[in-house]
Amino acid sequence: MLPTNLKEKENKTFSNWLPQIFRRSKSFQHEKSMDKEQFLVLPTEIVESILERIDDLSILLRCRLVCLQWKTIVETMLEKQHFSHLPNLNNAESYFSTGRFKPPHVSPCLYSVIPETSIAGLTHLWLPPALTNVIVKNPFPNKSVTVIGFESCHSGWCLPRSCPKLPPHKTKIRPAPNKKIVRVFQNIGHHLTSLIFHDVTISQDKFCSILESSTNLKSLILSVFELVGGNPDRELNIPRFLTNLQVIYCQKSSELTIKWFLSTCSYQLTSLKLYGNYFLCNNVILEKDKFPRLQNLYIFDPSRSDLVELLEKSMSPPTLKYTTLGWSSKMRNVQIDEIIYFISKTSKSLISFKIFVSLDEFVKILEKCRVVYPKVRFIEMLWQRSLIDPSWEDESHRKSLLPWFPKLECAKVIPSSEFCYYPDVMCPLCGRSEKYIKRGLKKWLGENF
Amino acid sequence: MALVRVISSDGAAFLVSQRLAKRSGKLKTEIETFRKSSDNSEAQPEIRIVTIRAEILRLVLQWLQQHQNDPVLPANQNEQDGRGDAEMGQSQWDRDFLAPMDLGIVMELILAANHLEVKGLLDITCKLVESKITGRTVDEIRTAFKLKSDFKGNEEEQTRLENRWCVEN
């Protein structure tokens, strides 16, 4: 983090470090005479300005191994890059996107989810004009905690094995996370940057006290989550770095409380993802004043009426850069005009807009919008494997899109089933996904559970 | 030609033109402060830099002299990716200038460039150091920078493990 008072830091740095640099400089001139005192630490800002010139992630990660100071600096840099404006989609999502269980604290990552439950003829189009790579692994897996509720096949905690300063016996608490939940978070809360609740029912008071203990939280995922005892006037100190929120398949019964939470933290969010909630918090969503910092919006599968209302009424925040709108096959009767109207209202800063439509529909949208994208050189289209006609060629797609993308070099068709799997739209952890979770948990937590 | 005396930490004085000195953000501010506080507009400003020794100051001034006709880069240019344009067109002169220096001197130069707010010099020196990191193993980096691993217990192994997850596809 950059210091607020540069001058002060500068003075401090110089008076502290300069003598050391002199000594170091001498020691460089006399390579052979090395003694312990010569192992000193460089000023942070210098290391920062050197390391920030490195593009290659693998080299940065190597620098992370040099010493604690370098490790901290690299982590801060990566955090800035990865957490600032991209959604910190997490392991909870890997349930939905891949169907394979990944141990929650091991590789939370950014995913782009494309549903496969499409009916014949539906084509998924993915249009990221500025974004080239959305799959980024979370570099800080040991700062993430997942709480899996009672109802799931495996209730309990998934804590990082290396959770800092956590007493050893606290690393496995099971089952009934609810009983000790508040006390545990008082112990570990401030270490966490990412927190996931899956299939958990919890009272508003406990939820508030957990959040208030997790002072460094950056990302919160509420998946199949139920918040009971909604008091719409409850005050809450939101963790001040909390910028990423995902609400996935939440229960209708907690509609009011989720709305309360959204409106409480909306002013500091940069990324918001609402996924498969059959109630969409329409009156909260997308009002300029309420989301002054929102850069990334992802809405998947709202209810039909909510989506129409969203498309018609919402005003997008001026900061919005990435938007994704998606729906499963039920929602296919969404009118193109509505989408166009929505696009026309989205902010000028928008650099990526993803929707889930067929190629024909997409071309219609482009025709109506009369917008030309002079910079786009690459488009990926995700197709359901069974629908791909072997005679199709990327080249013909490219030509059909050229009027709107004059610089287009490649329009590539990717069989979607190859890299994503999307279970039925109903609660994804019921039924078929269960075995993955069991296997995954056993494999990963075998020694702990 | 208006001159300014710049004095290093070990007392060596350099007499340089104000035009040249003003290419350093820090010196420019100092000269302006001096102008405001001084009644006599003809007086020669004297700036003492307590953190930079003569040898390094001489190198900085030498670099400024060579680059005095380059356009001044705003300090915050390309702040986002931390890269200035200067390093793109690194001249043969710069390469010869840096070639004989050992890492200790380069480090001092980085500190000095940072302190005196000479962005172009900061860019080329940082770039040089970066090139010493690329392609080296962790141990080699430690040796080159005379850094010592201060990880405790299995922290290093843990970090290595985390790294594996970061690059895994």
Residue A265 binned pLDDT confidence (cut-offs 50, 70, 90): confident
- Inter-chain touch B146–A61, beta carbons under 8 Å: no
> Which residues of chain A neighbour B155 with C-beta distances below 8 Å?
68
Among A17, A26, A162, the residue with its CB nearest the CB of B158 is A162
Q: What's the confidence (pLDDT) of residue B150?
A: 84
Here the ipTM equals 0.77
Chains A, B: CB contacts within 8 A come to 126
Q: How close is the nearest chain A Cα to the Cα of B145, in Å?
A: 9
Q: What's the confidence (pLDDT) of residue B82?
A: 40
* B8 domain-assigned: yes
* B11 domain-assigned: yes
Residue A167 binned pLDDT confidence (cut-offs 50, 70, 90): very low
Interface residue A351 vs chain B (CB under 8 A): no
* B31 domain-assigned: yes
> What average pLDDT does the segment A380-401 reach?
60
Residue A400 binned pLDDT confidence (cut-offs 50, 70, 90): confident
The DSSP result for A30-80, as a single string, is STT---GGG-----HHHHHHHHTT---HHHHHHHTTT-HHHHHHHHHHHHH
| pLDDT tens profile A415-445 | 543 323 322 222 222 223 333 333 333 333 3
User: Cβ distance A103 to A444 under 8 Å?
Assistant: yes
The span from the first CA to the last CA of chain B, in angstroms, equals 62
C-alpha A138/C-alpha A105 separation (Å) is 9
Q: Output B39 or B18, whichever has higher pLDDT.
A: B18
Domains of chain A: 42-84 (no CATH), 88-119+133-355+420-445 (3.80.10)
| pLDDT tens profile A89-129 | 333 333 333 333 232 222 222 222 222 222 222 222 222 22
> Which residues of chain A neighbour B159 with C-beta distances below 8 Å?
64-65, 71
Q: Output A285 or A242, whichever has higher pLDDT.
A: A242
* B131 domain-assigned: yes
Q: What's the confidence (pLDDT) of residue A28?
A: 46
Among A15, A25, A67, the residue with its CB nearest the CB of B105 is A25
Work out the percent of chain A whose per-residue pLDDT is above 90. 0
- Chain A interface mutation, best of B165, B168, B169, highest count of A Cβ atoms under 10 Å: B165
User: Averaging pLDDT over each range in A281-285, A385-389, B32-36, B38-42, which range is the top one?
Assistant: B32-36
| Number of domains forming the structure of chain B | 1
* B160 domain-assigned: no
Chain A residue with Cα closest to B132? A50
CATH of the domain at B87: 3.30.710.10
- Inter-chain touch B114–A58, beta carbons under 8 Å: no
> What average pLDDT does the segment B90-113 reach?
84
CA A413 to the chain's CA centroid: 25
Token pair in block for residue A333 = 């009767």
User: Averaging pLDDT over each range in A40-49, A353-362, B137-146, which range is the top one?
Assistant: B137-146
Residue A413 binned pLDDT confidence (cut-offs 50, 70, 90): low
> Which residues of chain A neighbour B148 with C-beta distances below 8 Å?
39, 67
- What is the strand order of the sheet A410-415 is part of? A124-126, A378-383, A410-415
Structural domain that includes position B90: 3-154
**B30 pLDDT more than 70:** yes
* B23 domain-assigned: yes
**A399 pLDDT more than 80:** no
- Inter-chain touch B159–A64, beta carbons under 8 Å: yes
Q: What's the confidence (pLDDT) of residue A307?
A: 66
* B168 domain-assigned: no
Q: What's the confidence (pLDDT) of residue A99?
A: 30
> Which residues of chain A neighbour B128 with C-beta distances below 8 Å?
none
